[in-house]
Each structure stands twice: as C-alpha cells, then as structure tokens.
Chain A
Amino acid sequence: MQTPVFLDHLPDISTVTGRKPERYRLTRNKALSELLLDDTAHWHERSNCPACGGSIAKSRNFSRAYLPFQRCGGCNSIYAARVPAQQELDRLRLEQTAVKDPEAEQDREFEFISLLNWISLTEARSGCRLERVLDYRFCSQAPGFEEATGRLSHNRDWQFLPLESAADGGIGKLTRSLRDLAPKAVLVQAEMDRVADPAQLLRTLRENVAEGTIVFIGTSCSDGLEYEILGVDSPSFIPLDRLNIFSVKGFELLAQSLGYTVLEASTPGRRDAVLLEQYFNSAENAKIPFWSSFFQDADKDRLRDLQILLQRSLKSGVMRFVLKT
C-alpha cells in the first residue's frame, strides 16, 4: 500500500470559518433538529463501529447538535450512534439547494484538478487504463465538477450519477448504473462520511463491477489533528455531513473486510494547521499544553511544515483511498 503526500499551498482560512460557512452550518443543524423532532422519521441505532465492527461499549460518547456520537476505542473512527434513513438524508440534501454549501460557491478549480490528476497518476502507476469513470454524487455536491471533467479530462469518458430522492436511498439506481456502464473506475468523493450505511455503499460497488475496477474514495479522517484536538468543536464537524468519520486503520479494515485490495491511503488535508491556528488565537479557548503556544507563535512557514508533517504521518483531517475490486 502506498501512502503518498499531496503537497500544495495552504488554504485561505475564510473558506472554512467565514460567515458563509457559518450560515451553512446553522442551516444543516436546523434541518437535523427538525429531523430529531419528527416522530415519523426513521432512525437506525448503531451498536457497533461502522468501520472495525468494535462494540459501542468500548467507545467514548459525546454529542453534537443533540445527535449522539461515539469515538471507537478500537480503531479511532468517529460515528453517529443513530443515523437517519438514507432517503431522509437525501431529501434533506435536495431541499437544501436554496442554501448552498459554501464550498459549492467557491472556485473549486484546484480541487477538481487535484482529483483528476490523482486519477490520472493512479492510472499511470497501476497500469490499468481507466477510460470510463462513474462519479457517484460528487457532481451534486460540487456543481462545477461535471463541466471541469469535460474541460480537463480529455482521455476519459465521465458518467455522473447525481443525488436523487428514492425510497431505497439510491442503491437500486447505483446498481443499475454500475451494471449498464461497466465503469473502469468509480469516484466516491465527499460521500462516505455522509451516508447512513457506508458498508452497504461499498458492498454495492464491489458486487456490481468487474474485478480489477478501481474505486477512488475521498472522505474526512478522524486521525486528523483537527479532529483529535478540536473534536466536535471543529468547524467542519457538521453532524449531518459527518455521520462517519473514519480513521485510516478503520477504513482500511472496512474495505478489506468487504474484499477490496487497498492500493493507496493518504491524508491530503490542508486545513488542520490553519484551523488550529485560528482556534488557539481566539481568546476564549482553553490552554492545551504544547499546542496553545505552538499555534500562537506559528507563522505561515511553520503551519505549512506542520501540515506536511501531518500528511506524512497520515494525521490530517481528510483522507483518500484507492481501492481495487
């Protein structure tokens, strides 16, 4: 298994903690409150870690926006102890088109290029030609993505499966698309942390593609310094979008238990250092040994060095996996 490091500029902090992201967070949390109060909504109680299967009895619990969460004592993944049905989640996401995810509004060109280059370089290194790729729902999360693939990904035929509301949470449509399109690769970007049943999604993918198909996963990572220090206080911890925050080990175990070969794992997150710097420099926050003074004294160079070290140690708040069926 390779563990590449993705080196680039640090992001502008305002894209994470500015007013627009704050509005999005409030709207998502309001939707969650309504769902919690809705007697007709279906919830699934989890008694085991969705990554390693470890018992809930061995985890630490906490809550965010009245939703109970667990941090697994076995694999360090963070997960909601009860999750809404997938169709509820999909309905809420579709309803929220009025309040756009601020990420959707920014210029995400570099993020798209990063994804497309990741796929191209994986193709080159693996020696498997990935001429047909299916995107699962990232096009709905990032509206410019479809256009970007047309402009930047000439040697590949891209197919898109957008977010839709369906009684089965979209699994039937996904199954049919995989069978009809027979993609050489599937992109599952920013989805694994939001689905009610990540194992079901991975199983559906594996069971309906040919052997040797590559699955690209991008999701948040609980081993990241952001989540280790800030936990629920992290600005990116929006419960409805973070029902499953896998650890590297946890996701590796899950993928392997479902029969995937793990080709690559990385934590290409770039936000841990800038988020923590902002956190420790806002007056009201408690002192934490070492880190408070580290971040209060840190200049941009030091933040960049730290972020690279986090990536090299697989300890940043975002992760990528390349799986093979």
Chain B
Amino acid sequence: MTLRTAIIGYGKMGRIRHAAMEKHGGFKVVAACDSQPDPTAAIPVVTDPLAVYDYNPDVIVCSVPNMMIPDVVCEALTRGKHVFSEKPPGRNSGDVRRMRQAEAQNPSLVLKFGFNHRMHDAIEEAKKLTDAGTMGDLYFMRGVYGKAGGPGYAQNWRNDPTQSGGGILIDQGIHMLDLFQMFAGRFTEVQSFIQRNFWTEVPVEDNAFALMKNPEGIIASVHSSATQWQHTFRFELYMRNGFISVDGILSASGSYGTEVLTVALNRLDRGGNPIPNPECQEIRFTEDLSWDKEAAEFYEAIANGTPIRSGTSAQALEVMELVEAIYAADPEWHAQLQRQSVTAAE
C-alpha cells in the first residue's frame, strides 16, 4: 500500500520527513508547500497550503510554525487525510484540544505528532530496562536539555510568543517533559523558575527550571536552556536498584554528541546497603533511526491499524498542559505574561 503524501512546510524538518518517508518506501511524496516556490525541488512545491489537495494526497505532513499547526491539522483531518505533525503541537493546550476535536470527528484517521525523542535508541533501551522491573521502583528523574540560542535568535519565529507560544521550554524542553511522562505518566504538581537572561529583547524565556511530582510521588526536575553554551542533553532515572542515564542525543546537527546510555545495578554490602560507585555498563548509539521509526509507526497505524505509541494527541495534550503549568508556576513570570497579553489585546 503506497500512501500519497503532501508536506506542508518544506523547510529543514519537512525535508527530513521527506527523506525518511522515501526511505521507508510506503509513502510517495507527491507535493509540498512552502512560503517560497522551489524550482530545484524534485516534487512540485506550491505556496498555497490548500493547493496540495489538488495532488490527491492520503497523508498530510505538517511541518509549519506552531501557530499554523492547528489550522493545517484540522483542515487535513476534515478533508479525510491522515496527519503527521511536528511538535510542539501548536502554541498551547487549547490548540491541542481543537485538533483532538477534529480527530474525534474522524475516528478512522491517524493523527501522530513528532515527539521523536521517544524513539531514539538509547531512550527505547532505557524504557526496556525500566519496564523489565530489574531496576526496581522509579524514585526520580532529572533532565537537562540546552543549547546556545543560535544566530538570529531574537528574529526567529520560535521566539515570538504569538507564533510559538513560548521560548526554549516549549520548543526544546518539551521533549524532556514528554520523556518524563513516557516513563512516569502525568505530573500534576509543579514548581518553577523562568528566566530571561541573555536575549532580553524578546518576551520569551531563555531558561526554565522546574520541579514536578506525579500522583505516585515520583519527582522530576528539568532545566531547559538557551544559554547552555555547550549543547547538552542529559536524562537520568534513579531507581531502587540502580540508575540509568542518557547523555547526548543524536540530532541532525550532531551537536549534542553521540547517544550514550549508562546503566548500573547497585552492588550491596553484606548489610544490604548499596556500595557507592557501582560498575556501569555504557552503550553507545551512533545512528539516529528515530525519523525512520516514526515514519514506520505512522505507516503501520494507517496500513494495519496498529495503535500509535509515540506522539498520540493525548500525549500531546498532557505535555502541553505540563508546559503551561510550568509557565504558570513562577508567579513573577506568570504576572509578566499576563501584562503582555493585556498589552497585546490593547
């Protein structure tokens, strides 16, 4: 079964998706849409998003800026198309609810969001280890995800809250929050500090620190940063019987390093207490297969009805609610956001 596919938003992400879908073989990309025509592209590139429907696609890939995502996704679902959309799923939980409504009205269609970190090899390996029960109960998780903001930071649509919904937390930190919920379910209690340090000309955060707890008492802390001058991804899980960490994450730029999973089971003294610094097993992953796995999961869901595991709209809603809870939990930041929205309304 070959799925005719149109990509709306043919920038860096759209082209990564194109390559992964071609590689999979079950998709045939028939058209793309972007703000500028691309006469060098191997497929027709139109500038009107609705024009892609002239190519009679079965599938829409949505790789547009956050504020456009809900419209593109809802339009596609209403027209009976399966949809693969990038994260973040819009700018806020309201956007996700709107998309979920369109999804509910078209139950035969597949909607998947690109939370690809769940499908990285090191993360899947960590999940296998925790699911097996060998590591024991999960106590807490720690996540650091950060980069140097980059050129054109202040001009980038990602840092215009009307277009993106927020700063580094909603853009990059959201992946870490999604991983927290993948391993421990929903987090309901949140404390946070949100900062704007370096890029003061834009109204979004360049650092977010949050501490959260789920109903089972599992605690997680995240630091999401655009002033992490040394690109860093570090995800740690501490369990009763040992720990797991994932250092580095394979990315298109390669700047977060190789993915290294470290796992250790404690060694106990004769009294049953863990001896410090247990032997660690380190496993390196050097090939990013997440794009391919996402394409394959999306295809299986459409062709064979296999349920989506990573990037469901329910997961998208939960993680957006968590992002909002983190923004809201810092009273100063919350007040600042309110003042901004009042000013914007005037």
A and B interact: yes
- Interface of A with B (CB < 8 Å)? 2-9, 109-110, 113-114, 117-118, 120-121, 123-125, 127, 152, 312
B65-101: which residues lie under 8 A (CB-CB) from chain A? none
Q: Is B280 a contact of A121 with CB atoms below 8 Å?
A: no
Q: Is the CB of B282 within 8 A of A4?
A: yes
Known contacts A120-B265, A121-B263; is A8 also within 8 Å of B132 by CB?
A: no
Number of A-B contacts (CB under 8 A): 56
Measured CB to CB, the nearest residue on chain B to A2 is: B283
Closest Cβ of chain B to A279, distance in Å, is: 26
Interface centre among B134, B264, B267, B281 (most CB of A within 10 A): B281
Chain A residues whose CB sits within 8 angstroms of the CB of B132 once the complex forms: 123-125, 127
- Residues from chain B with a CB closer than 8 A to the CB of A5 are 281-284
User: In the complex the two chains form, is A110's CB within 8 Å of B281's CB?
Assistant: no
Which residues of B269-318 have CB atoms within 8 Å of chain A's CB atoms?
Answer: 277, 279-284
How far, in whole Å, are A3 and B258 apart by their CA atoms in the complex?
14
Closest chain B residue, CB of each to CB of A9: B277
Across the two chains, which residue of chain A brings its CB closest to B128? Answer: A125
3 tightest Cβ-Cβ pairs between the two chains A and B: A124-B132, A8-B279, A124-B134
- Whether B335 is near chain A, meaning CB under 8 Å from some CB there, is no
Question: What distance in Å separates the Cβ of A310 from its nearest Cβ neighbour in chain B?
Answer: 13
B-side contacts of A124, CB under 8 Å: 128-129, 132-135
A123 to B265, CA, bound (A): 13
* Complex Cα gap A113–B280 (Å): 12
Please give the distance in Å from A286's CB to the nearest CB on chain B. 35
Q: Is B125 an interface residue (CB 8 A)?
A: yes
Partner pick for A121 among B129, B267, B268, B277, CB 8 A cutoff = B129
Query: Across the interface, do B279 and A6 meet the contact criterion of CB distance under 8 Å?
Result: yes
Instruction: Known contacts A121-B263, A124-B129, A125-B128; decide if A4 and B134 are in contact (CB<8 Å).
Output: no
Q: List B contacts of A3 (CB < 8 A).
A: 283-284
Given A117-B265, A120-B265; A125-B129 close (CB under 8 Å): yes
Would you call A6 and B280 a contact (CB within 8 A)? yes
Chain B residues whose C-beta falls within 8 Å of the C-beta of A9 in the assembled complex: 277
Taking the closest CB of chain A, its distance from the CB of B121, in whole angstroms, is: 10
Q: Given contacts A7-B279, A124-B134, could you give 13 more A-B pairs where the C-beta distance is less than 8 Å? A: A4-B282, A6-B280, A6-B282, A7-B262, A9-B277, A110-B267, A110-B279, A120-B265, A121-B265, A123-B134, A124-B129, A125-B128, A312-B284
Q: Which of A4, A8, A123 contacts B283 (CB 8 A)?
A: A4
Report B127-151 CB contacts with A as 1/0, cut-off 8 Å: 0110011110000000000000000
* Nearest Cβ on chain A to B244's Cβ, whole angstroms: 10
Contact partners of B267 in chain A: CB under 8 A: 109-110, 113, 117
Distance of B242 from chain A, by nearest CB (Å): 8
Measured CB to CB, the closest approach of chain A to B236, in angstroms, equals: 16
Q: A7 to chain B: which residues have CB within 8 Å?
A: 262, 279-282
**B281: which of A6, A127, A152 is its contact (CB, 8 Å)?**
A6
The distance in angstroms between the C-alpha atoms of A4 and B133, with both chains bound, is 21
- With both chains docked as a complex, state the minimum distance between the C-beta of B275 and any C-beta of chain A, in angstroms: 9
- Separation of A118 and B279 alpha carbons in the complex (Å): 10
B128 contact set on A, CB distance < 8 A = 124-125, 127
User: Shortest CB–CB separation between residue B62 and chain A, in angstroms?
Assistant: 34
> Which of B128, B134, B135 has the largest count of A CB atoms less than 10 A from its CB?
B134
Shortest beta-carbon distance from A133 to chain B in Å: 15
Chain B CB within 10 Å, residue with most, of A7, A9, A118, A152: A7
| Residues on B with beta carbons closer than 8 Å to the beta carbon of A127 | 128, 132
B2-35: which residues lie under 8 A (CB-CB) from chain A? Answer: none
A121-B134 contact given A110-B267, A113-B267, A127-B128, CB 8 Å threshold: yes
Residues of B within 8 A of A109 (CB): 267
The answer for the CA separation of A6 and B264 in the assembled complex, in Å, is 10
A312 to B135, CA, bound (A): 25
- Docked CA distance A2–B259 (Å): 13
- Minimum CB–CB distance from A106 to chain B (whole Å) comes to 16
- Give the Cβ gap from A294 to chain B, nearest Cβ, in Å: 24
Nearest A residue to B283, CB-CB: A4
Complexed CA–CA distance, A9 and B280 (Å): 10
Complex contacts, A6 vs chain B, CB 8 Å: 279-282
* 15 A-B pairs whose Cβ atoms sit less than 8 Å apart in the complex: A4-B281, A4-B283, A5-B284, A7-B280, A7-B282, A8-B279, A8-B280, A121-B265, A121-B281, A123-B132, A124-B128, A124-B135, A125-B128, A125-B129, A127-B128
Pair A117/B279 contact, Cβ less than 8 Å: yes
CB of B270 to closest CB in A, whole Å: 8
A117 neighbours in B (Cβ, 8 Å):
264-265, 267, 279
Distance to closest chain B CB from A321 (angstroms): 15
Among residues of A, the one whose C-beta sits closest to the C-beta of B279 is A8
Interface positions, chain B 228-283, Cβ under 8 Å from A, are 262-265, 267-268, 277, 279-283
Complex Cα–Cα for A152 and B267 (A): 9
Tell me, in angstroms, the Cα distance from A5 to B258 when the chains sit together. Answer: 15
Q: Which residues of chain A have C-beta atoms less than 8 A from B133's C-beta?
A: 124
